Structure 1
């Protein structure tokens, strides 16, 4: 049966930029939720001190939770080979961080969609770099998970593999027991594409999931696909919201995941409007999980 974790989507500025929230405060807040885990972020300001890694793991464990996933953003599509080599070393540091935290899954990305890159160049660079990281991941009992991502906050360009065809091609070139997909249905809308179509293409490779939802502020999904597909900058028609009340069809998503035998972690990206909203999203997802993965099954 899948287990739930939560990501501090509403507190990234406070945890990663101005330091107005401490990691222990997030642990205290999240530990009150009816979940099993806390997804971690490599960019928390306090993670710069390696001595904190073990402390945070112990604090989370003291609350009866665990840290299953580490979110980080390598940039493997830079044309300079030395730059890419440094990104590989960064990823290895994050793999070590993930292992120290007790995590099993560490995110990878392709990199930025630089205008001068052809699709084949970008895919080749990303595959080469990810494959260089996989032996180290295996040594640390960590699985690298590539997300159908939109854009890191600090990047100039969107994700190279944002579009479905590029993402699926990249995934198809890497076959390793320590590599899989972190599926995020909402990010597919930002590419102007159908999240279910993507899921059906990669469902047998999905090992973790980000649960989120988006609302259309105006217009229709057809308008979004025409006007926002592949655009630079977040889709202005879309807004993060409470899970189960947006565009995603969680019945269809969970039916497909159950069909392929998925039993991994589902991390919630929600709570922009407060912890009460996050609690409602947890309740919605627990109800859906119970429906598709009944205990007596």
Structure 2
């Protein structure tokens, strides 16, 4: 079990909390590893990255998943090429930090992007990126996101039909899926229905929760206290013999206590079903 510290993104970005402190908090909470966003790294110079890697390693916590935000659905072909180059760099960066997985997303729902063409642009970009990921031994996992702070628009593949079309288009690559338990609920969709449609491709799980449905982004909730039917989702995953990483997306804004509660809830729920 690992955790992406969304609740602490502000503190980590402002450097009022260090990545080492986050890793130590995760260790104290009983996690097996940590997740990071590329947005949390202030630069990509060799000296800085070596320092970050050593500081995290000193806590004994491995980096399990990195999260990045490629905009492969951008209507400008030159910008799409830039985004692919950014993604290639993030794959190498993830490899350097020892991450097993790199969470990728389709891109933004630009008003100028036609649906059919956008789907194909994303599939083409992912196929190219998968070759780089194989070389660096990093597993790419694709998620239908909501609206990260790095973007102007919501995720291009929020709609289930777009997400499943892209997922189908990358079946022959080494790319798996990162199933976010809250995102379908956020979109006003049924998470169990979507889970069933893509379960054979799932490699990792983002365990997340939301206090309200039908919103553009999840409404902060302590894991297990929101609307997401975690017991039902976990039960179906166990029926499928899922044995991958449960990566908590902790965004309750309740500090270290929120992380501790999330770890306890996920562990107890998984063991109970």
The residue aligned with 1:245 is: 225
Q: CA RMSD in A?
A: 1.7
* Distance in 2 between residues matched to 1:52 and 1:176, nearest whole Å: 37
The residue aligned with 1:286 is: 267
- Tell me the SS of whatever aligns to 1:92: helix
* Distance in 2 between residues matched to 1:9 and 1:58, nearest whole Å: 22
* Distance in 1 between residues matched to 2:53 and 2:101, nearest whole Å: 15
Q: Give the TM-score normalised by the residue count of structure 1.
A: 0.86
- Tell me the SS of whatever aligns to 1:252: helix
- Tell me the SS of whatever aligns to 1:6: strand
Q: Which moved more, 1:124-133 or 1:250-259?
A: 250-259
Matches within 5 A, 1:206-225: 206-216=202-212, 224=214
- In the alignment, which of 61, 67, 74 is matched to residue 71 of structure 1? 67
* Distance in 1 between residues matched to 2:169 and 2:222, nearest whole Å: 35
Note closer, same or farther for the CA distance 1:64–1:176 as it changes in structure 2 (3 Å cut).
farther
| Number of aligned positions between the proteins | 272
- Tell me the SS of whatever aligns to 2:203: strand
Query: Are the counterparts in 2 of residues 57 and 66 from structure 1 also a CA contact under 8 Å?
Result: no
Query: Are the counterparts in 1 of residues 33 and 62 from structure 2 also a CA contact under 8 Å?
Result: yes
Q: Which runs of 5+ in 1 are unaligned?
A: 293-297
- In the alignment, which of 108, 117, 122 is matched to residue 118 of structure 2? 122
Query: Are the counterparts in 1 of residues 231 and 270 from structure 2 also a CA contact under 8 Å?
Result: no
* Distance in 1 between residues matched to 2:244 and 2:50, nearest whole Å: 24
Aligned-residue offset at 1:158: 0.6
2:217 is the alignment partner of 1:260: no
2:12 is the alignment partner of 1:22: no
The residue aligned with 2:104 is: 108
Query: Are the counterparts in 1 of residues 105 and 143 from structure 2 also a CA contact under 8 Å?
Result: yes
- Tell me the SS of whatever aligns to 1:48: coil
Aligned-residue offset at 1:174: 0.7
- Tell me the SS of whatever aligns to 1:40: strand
Q: Which moved more, 1:262-271 or 1:41-50?
A: 41-50
Q: Which runs of 5+ in 2 are unaligned?
A: none
